[in-house]
Structure 1
Amino acid sequence: MSTTVQASRATGLTTAEVEQRRRDGLSNDVPDRASRSVRDIIRANVFTRINAILGVLFILVLATGSIIDGMFGLLIVANSAVGIIQEVRAKRTLDQLAIVSQAKPTVRRDGKAVDVAPREVVLDDLIELGPGDQIVVDGEVEEASLLEIDESLLTGEADPIDKQIGDQVMSGSYVVSGGGCYRATKVGKDAYAAKLAEEASKFTLVKSELRSGIDTILKVITYLLIPAGLLSIYNQLVSSKESWRPAVTGMVAALVPMVPEGLVLMTSVAFAVGVVRLGRRKCLVQELPAIEGLARVDVVCADKTGTLTENGMRVSDIKTLDSFEDNEVRQALAALAADDPRPNASVQAIAEALPDGPGWQRTAVAPFSSAKKWSGCSYGEHGDWLLGAPDVLLDAHSDDARMAEELGSSGLRILLLARSDRPVDAADAPGTVRPAALVVLEQRVRPDAKETLEYFASQHVSIKVISGDNAVSVGAVASSLDLTGGDHAVDARGLPEDREQLADVLDHETTFGRVRPDQKRAMVAALQSRGHTVAMTGDGVNDVLALKDADIGVAMGAGSPATRAVAQIVLLDNKFATLPYVVGEGRRVIGNIERVSNLFLTKTVYSVLLAFLVGIAGVGSQIFGYDPIGYPFLPRHVTIAAWFTIGIPAFILSLAPNNERARSGFVRRVMRLAIPSGVVIGIATFVAYLIAYAGPEASAQQKEQAGTTALITLIMIAVWVLAIVARPYVWWKVVLIATSVAAYLLLFTVPFTREFFKLDPSNVALTTAAVICGAIGIVLVEVAWWISASLLGEKGQLFPTPAGGADDELDT
């Protein structure tokens, strides 16, 4: 390798070399975010199984010449349009936020360090590295200063790997400590982690309890649709002895309501709207199930620095120790701050307080790491200086250690400046330490931290403060926020390594200091072993392992690129107070989808049962010789039955506020209402139809009156199911139910709509019978609801409790 090439690499590529590589296609041409394209979104929302079923039935109805009975075909357009619009909105929100959140590597070009987007990196670029930086492309180390890389995200090996000049680094890993730079050797799709990163960042609606529950329900429905559909087809085309046109329309009327056409749509819309709403609060949801997941969390592990306290610090005092002079102490601090290429918040505060370095020549360096809790530089004749945690570098029984603890007990952050008797890069460093000064740093507690902790406490979500700082200092911050247990913080250096014993400690304690990165990870695992759903918040490289293992990882936008890469949720505004809104959004999604699922599945149950009852009666007519029975409804009847009992109300309920705490057992709770309600509606409707049925030779008016009788019974009970699902009642829900009732009264009383939809309630005797059947059905559904609530140990509520104020207003 020539000297010229070495010099060229030290200063990085020139602008001309960068442009040439771009022309040659040697850039890191991976998409900023691997969200689905608009074309994929359209295809996914148009070409669905449900649309295919409805499309075939729509064509069959058109073949009969009855365009009006094909109104359900509008569902195909509505389902597709709403799904496309909402998902495109969510895609745009995600893509815009992802660009803000993405790591921007620092590259050397024309001898200068510049920040660029990952896709602007080209082959042979020199990329600088510091603690917390994520490696965006594969490369070879060109410069290394005690460089340690964590490749656990790729290999699963948690121990950091020491990297020397010439060693390979892989995209997807990150820097734990030290610094240096590497040359890009593989870019774009050739990079090791490119495909993994692309797959991980996709807009996805899968792998959640909610989605898996709905998939399970749809599988069961599919199995029921096959025999019910075949029986309906046989009954209408063979048993009923009707001409082909009414037989086909009856068959379509039986099959259409069996399909829960809006259930998947409403779920997708609820998730997508959640993404948009959270996007307005500068919250990037990198994996959509995280919205649901955070709503199920019952333990939040919060880092202190950057989460409960603000990132910025300032030096409030420098207390000189031993026989050191103030000027010597300040010069050493200024030198350490000036020579740190990647200063953390503490060193930045020192640099701001002491901006003029003495210009000492550095002879050795020891970068800070979370494991050893100190950093240092050797300056030849000017000495070997350390900066780190007092309780790590000092004898715990010394007067200086006691002074540091007293200062830290008030919530201040304390660093020790000390002089060592050996170079800082010696194998046995730090050696004998001579304390020189205590640096007192002020951390500001976030003004919204206390309110956020109180919110989680009110929702029975436990908070565990886990910090690498001094336990006394952490306890002081926790106590200032009135966190239970903050007054007796635990020093993590004395925690047991056994998972069960650690879980016992975590059950009773809330505040922990001096926690190593591996201990944070162990704490998350211990809590999960006790059945807890754990969220971890953090912003530093020492939080990455715990964020990765937690059920939900929440990173601060100002945190290290590595934390943002592994987290499912990124708070771009760095506000811990945004978390309650994420929890609330998840609860809205889960609670409302549960509500609308009740409506759609009730319709499926009564449609399948009614088809079975009519089909069995038709088969029985052939065996026993009584009059055959056709399906009671036209397709237009089942369309209007769904308008105001399911369609419009479900859409409103799916987007409404809902602060009910997320619970497991989604499928069981949904079916506990849907099955009995559907059975009652199916049987009551069939009985009402039998009362009104005048035989196969009945006039057109008699057939119309029989269908109307059955429809009145069905709608009455279905509206009552809507009323049950909408509980607890608030003003807008009462208006919604009243509007549904009023809409049906208009349909049945206005001459035009009666003629258009073939409704005839003029037979007083039959209409009275329909109302009686409907009233009996209402009573049975109501009794079933109270019994099921009692059996599950739940309290049925007609009106919200005073604490449930979040559900009092309709959020538009």
Structure 2
Amino acid sequence: MAERVATGRVNDVPARASRSVGEIIRANLFTRINAIIGVLLIMILAVGPIQDALFGGVIIANTLIGVIQELRAKRTLDRLAIVGAARPVVRRDGYAVEVDASEIVLDDLIELGQGDKIVVDGVVAEADQLEVDESLLTGEADPVVKQPGDQVLSGSFVVAGGGAFTATKVGREAYAARLAEEASRFTLVNSQLRNGIDAILRFVTWLIIPAGAALVVSQLMVNRDDVPEAVRRMVAGLVPMVPEGLVLLMSVAFAVGVIRLGQRRTLVQELPAIEGLARVDVVCLDKTGTLTEATMEVAEVLRLEADAPVEAVLGALGTAEERPNPSLRAIIEAFPHQPGWTVHSRTPFSSARKWSGATLSDPSGGTATWRLGAPEVVLPAGDPALVEADEYGARGLRVLALARDGVPVALVVIAQRLRADARDTLRYFAEQGVAVKVISGDNALSVGAVARSLDIPGADDPVDARTLPEDPDAYADAVERTTVFGRVGPQQKRDLVKALQARGHTVAMTGDGVNDVLALKDADIGVAMGAGSPATRAVAQIVLLDNSFAALPAVVGEGRRVIGNLERVANLFLTKTVYSVLLAIVVVLAQVPYPFLPRHLTLVGSLTIGIPAFFLALAPNAERARAGFVGRVLRFAIPAGVLAAAATFGTYLYARGLYDDLAAETSAATLALFLVALFALAVIARPYTWWRAALVAAMGAAFAIVLAVPFLQDFFQLKLVGWRGPGVAVAIAVSAGALLVVTERLLDRLRTR
């Protein structure tokens, strides 16, 4: 083994749950926005003074914040990923030991059992009814029976039986690793929010290019005798057009979400899952392990044949299964193996078959084939025992039928306990308007009884999935109107998810067993339990490491916080972009000096956007996620930006007629712009809490301090002259602010209608 490690024949592909430190620094530092701001910063540093370069400090601070928050999220994500990672069993020196997937070396003999994920490529050395699902690689849903000498590929998983295989390709040579060489789970790909912000940035770019070019020419012409002043005014017009903090705050908000959920032992394997679960309107729940506890106990054995050795047979069947499921573990605990019983051949349990079996010989030498599984599969149609099985099922009990050579022998009744947190979690989803579908491989009556005990609407009419119509439209209609489904196979779970998606639903699927993998993979959001099979954890976007269904509302809450808060701050950033572009246009048309220096807009932007946006982006927010993010942002930003630009330029023109001092004109325009932007902040900050009101008041007080303190007046080159100019600025700004409030309420009413 040491020789193989030394020569690099080790499975060294990192199970990356996050970006590397270098990638995080590069992603936050080398951005298009930072490049634009950096060029403008160099221009200002060349002409001075340093006060006009303050906007560069804001970018540096924001970038550092982004890097620090994402590094914190990386540590959380990596730590949780290690906890939830698959640990294959390897035979070395005659012993079977658990190792990390990264510790596997070439020629290792790796054991396989039901639910195991195959982590490297290899050749089957031992096979005991081994069935492997390769659908994640090939798209073929049917399991493949593997015999010694057959190839197995990394990325597939075991659905039945067991065995062992020899590792022939490890690390970057393995099949799944070659497919995923460039993949990173810490990603914002396919995020509606990210797509919306990208669309906004494209819109902004098209505005900035012509407006910025015209402003450059205009200021050089107006200030031809003072080129440094022209450069300062030109940069002042260009800097606020760039929504420099919008993408940063989105990354920070997601990173903080990862940290918060990590504290709840919830592993987010793909960042869009935080947002995606907040948009979900249908949650498909597997009953066992989600609504009920995974542990079970035998409640009763109903004999159908008086003299049958039921207890001994159940003990022998339990011994025959190498990796028993929860039902069989309960049987093993109740009926230990008795001496004298020998297993000659066996068929392991699979979710598709819904039974397991074995050929057994008893102490007297008699041989028979026994099956244990779903009554409607094991027993012949019309058997009276099916009626009794349904009666138990209607009480919420799980029933297994035991048959010998096709003849019914006994019914094994198994009890499950409801999860203590299930009722509250289901109530939360009902209050939030999220429909619940219970999908289980158990008897439909039994699943319906459990659902009724949890007060799930529609639980009185459970449906056996085998009776669903084959016509796609009729199938989708049935899935839409039904809440509880029983006897659902792995492929049917996948079909149910696809049918709901075809009807326009955003679907989340929860599960813990290998029979849930296909549905988890195809759902919009897959949620796996930490104690579930390695295969389910591998394909899910969210893993609940404490196996607590009650953690889902916290994930929904984080998603809503991210979506709702980023919409708020996007309104602020886009308002600044709109009024900056409009001011540039009217300045070009009027052929006057741009009314601001960079320091003025840095001050206004920091107090009305930068600082409050940081607090608003991380605040609690329970608003429901809605479609139409871009449209809503533009419906606010455009009128708000137009009013801000009109009030500012109107004040500037009035001040130019009143004063013969550019500093006094700029101060009056800055006062007007700040007040309108403060009005916009006040509108966006609603609904008010004490801290939101205090935030708006603090920003207003900070600006007042700048106007009152002589040193700050000189530093920011702001000095209000007399009462007439400032009075007109306040009057115009208050009028524009009032009009903004009225406009926003009218738009709200139109949206409501």
Cα deviation, residue 316, structure 1: 2.2
Deviates more, 1:738-747 or 1:379-388: 379-388
User: Are positions 1:378 and 2:378 aligned together?
Assistant: no
Q: Is the 8 A contact 2:371 2:378 kept in 1?
A: no
Structure 2 unaligned blocks of 5 or more: none
SS of 1:379's partner is strand
* Correspondences of 1:41-190 after superposition (within 5 Å): 41-190=24-173
d(CA) in 2 for partners of 1:536 and 1:584? 18
Cα deviation, residue 89, structure 1: 1.0
Q: CA-to-partner distance for each residue in 1:358-382, whole Å, 9 max, x for gaps?
A: 3522111111111221101101424
* Correspondences of 1:249-648 after superposition (within 5 Å): 249-325=232-308, 328-380=309-361, 381-395=366-380, 397-420=382-405, 433-618=406-591, 629-648=592-611
d(CA) in 2 for partners of 1:285 and 1:499? 34
d(CA) in 2 for partners of 1:497 and 1:89? 50
Q: CA-to-partner distance for each residue in 1:617-662, whole Å, 9 max, x for gaps?
A: 11xxxxxxxxxx1011111100110122101110000001111111
Deviates more, 1:745-754 or 1:175-184: 745-754
Structure 1 equivalent of residue 698 of structure 2:
739
SS of 1:488's partner is coil
Cα deviation, residue 116, structure 1: 1.0
For 1:342, give the aligned amino acid.
R
d(CA) in 2 for partners of 1:288 and 1:359? 55
Q: Is the 8 A contact 2:223 2:229 kept in 1?
A: no
d(CA) in 2 for partners of 1:574 and 1:592? 29
d(CA) in 1 for partners of 2:125 and 2:91? 12
Structure 2 equivalent of residue 704 of structure 1:
663
d(CA) in 2 for partners of 1:250 and 1:177? 72
Structure 1 unaligned blocks of 5 or more: 1-17, 421-432, 619-628, 795-812
Which aligned segments of 4 or more residues in structure 1 are displaced greater than 6 angstroms? none
d(CA) in 2 for partners of 1:82 and 1:333? 61
Deviates more, 1:666-675 or 1:231-240: 231-240
Structure 2 equivalent of residue 768 of structure 1:
727
SS of 2:595's partner is coil
Q: Is the 8 A contact 1:33 1:198 kept in 2?
A: no
d(CA) in 2 for partners of 1:678 and 1:195? 50
Cα deviation, residue 201, structure 1: 4.1
d(CA) in 2 for partners of 1:505 and 1:203? 38
Q: CA-to-partner distance for each residue in 1:268-312, whole Å, 9 max, x for gaps?
A: 101111111111111111111111111110000100001111111
The TM-score, its normalising length taken from structure 1, stands at: 0.90
Aligned with residue 625 of structure 2, among 640, 655, 662: 662
Q: Is the 8 A contact 2:286 2:511 kept in 1?
A: yes
Deviates more, 1:310-319 or 1:585-594: 310-319
Structure 2 equivalent of residue 15 of structure 1:
none
Aligned with residue 783 of structure 1, among 731, 742, 745: 742
Alpha-carbon distance change, 367 to 356 in structure 1, aligned in 2, over 3 angstroms: closer
For 2:333, give the aligned amino acid.
E
Q: CA-to-partner distance for each residue in 1:126-178, whole Å, 9 max, x for gaps?
A: 11111111111101111112211111111111111111111111100111112
For 1:261, give the aligned amino acid.
E
SS of 1:290's partner is helix
Structure 1 equivalent of residue 675 of structure 2:
716
SS of 1:346's partner is helix
d(CA) in 2 for partners of 1:197 and 1:345? 34
**Number of equivalences:** 749
d(CA) in 2 for partners of 1:116 and 1:355? 31
d(CA) in 1 for partners of 2:403 and 2:178? 47
User: Are positions 1:191 and 2:174 aligned together?
Assistant: yes
Q: Is the 8 A contact 1:34 1:199 kept in 2?
A: no
Deviates more, 1:21-30 or 1:395-404: 395-404
SS of 1:367's partner is strand
Cα deviation, residue 694, structure 1: 4.8
For 2:84, give the aligned amino acid.
S
Q: Is the 8 A contact 1:720 1:778 kept in 2?
A: yes
Q: Is the 8 A contact 2:84 2:545 kept in 1?
A: yes
Q: What is the Cα-based RMSD across aligned positions, in Å?
A: 1.5
Cα deviation, residue 779, structure 1: 2.0
Alpha-carbon distance change, 577 to 197 in structure 1, aligned in 2, over 3 angstroms: farther
Cα deviation, residue 258, structure 1: 0.8
Cα deviation, residue 743, structure 1: 1.4
SS of 2:356's partner is strand
d(CA) in 2 for partners of 1:59 and 1:728? 41
d(CA) in 1 for partners of 2:178 and 2:272? 21
d(CA) in 2 for partners of 1:718 and 1:416? 72
Structure 2 equivalent of residue 237 of structure 1:
220
Cα deviation, residue 451, structure 1: 0.6
Deviates more, 1:574-583 or 1:778-787: 778-787
d(CA) in 2 for partners of 1:337 and 1:494? 31
For 1:497, give the aligned amino acid.
E
Structure 2 equivalent of residue 7 of structure 1:
none
Cα deviation, residue 616, structure 1: 1.4
For 2:391, give the aligned amino acid.
E
d(CA) in 2 for partners of 1:786 and 1:503? 40
User: Are positions 1:728 and 2:687 aligned together?
Assistant: yes
Q: CA-to-partner distance for each residue in 1:77-130, whole Å, 9 max, x for gaps?
A: 112101110111111111111111111111111222211111111111111111
d(CA) in 2 for partners of 1:401 and 1:275? 49
d(CA) in 1 for partners of 2:225 and 2:314? 97
For 1:371, give the aligned amino acid.
A
User: Are positions 1:652 and 2:625 aligned together?
Assistant: no
Identity in percent: 60
SS of 2:300's partner is strand
d(CA) in 2 for partners of 1:603 and 1:460? 35
For 2:589, give the aligned amino acid.
I
Q: Is the 8 A contact 1:694 1:703 kept in 2?
A: no
Aligned with residue 35 of structure 1, among 7, 11, 18: 18
d(CA) in 1 for partners of 2:486 and 2:17? 39
Q: Is the 8 A contact 2:378 2:402 kept in 1?
A: no
The TM-score, its normalising length taken from structure 2, stands at: 0.97
d(CA) in 1 for partners of 2:470 and 2:668? 71
d(CA) in 2 for partners of 1:413 and 1:158? 27
Q: Is the 8 A contact 1:338 1:357 kept in 2?
A: no
SS of 2:175's partner is coil
